[in-house]
Amino acid sequence: EIVLTQSPGTLSLSPGERATLSCRASQSVGNNFLAWYQQKPGQAPRLLFYGSSTRATGIPDRFSGSGSGADFTLTISRLEPEDFAVYYCQQYSHSPRTFGQGTKVEIK
C-alpha cells in the first residue's frame, strides 16, 4: 500500500498570501497518477488536479500542481476567502487507492 503523508497538517494564512502544500508518497507513484481534492465543511470533495499537474475543469489558475515520483506539491498563489478548506492528495496508480490525511488551510 502506498502511504501518502501530507504536510503541514494545518496552514494558518491570511487572504492574499501564498500557500504551499506537500504530499509525499512512501514509494513512487506510477505515471504520476496523483490527484488533489478540495473539501469544504459539509460538502463533498472537488477535484482540483490530476496527473499531478493537470488542472480540472473550472479550477482557477491561482492553483497549481507539480511534482513527480514520490514528491508532490499544491500551490495556491494568492489565497481567496473561498480557498480556506481541507486539501487531500490521492494516488490512483496502485490499489488500494490511498489518500493523504489532509491539510487544513485556515484563516490566520
Partner 1 sequence: EVQMVESGGGLVQSGESLRLSCAASGFTFSSFSMNWVRQAPGKGLEWVSFINSIGDKIDYADSVKGRFTISRDNGKNSLYLQMNSLRAEDTAVYYCARGSGAGHWLIDYWGQGTLVTVSS
CB of 50 to partner 1, least distance (A): 5
What residue has cell string 465543511? 41
φ, ψ for residue 81, nearest 5 deg: -55, -35
Cα–Cα distance between 21 and 105 in angstroms, integer?
A: 9
The residue among 45 and 69 lying less far from partner 1, judged by its C-beta, is: 45
The residue among 10 and 101 lying less far from partner 1, judged by its C-beta, is: 101
- What lies within 8 Å, CB to CB, of 4 at 6+ separation is 23, 24, 25, 26, 89, 90, 91, 98, 99, 100, 101
Q: Does residue 36 touch partner 1 according to CB under 8 A?
A: no
Cα–Cα distance between 68 and 55 in angstroms, integer?
A: 15
CB of 98 to partner 1, least distance (A): 7
Q: Does residue 59 touch partner 1 according to CB under 8 A?
A: no
Interacting span for partner 1 (CB under 8 A) from 19-27, 63-71, 74-82, 84-92? 84-92
Question: Which residues in this chain contact partner 1 in the complex, by CB under 8 A?
Answer: 33, 35, 37, 39, 43-47, 50, 56, 88, 90, 92-93, 95-102
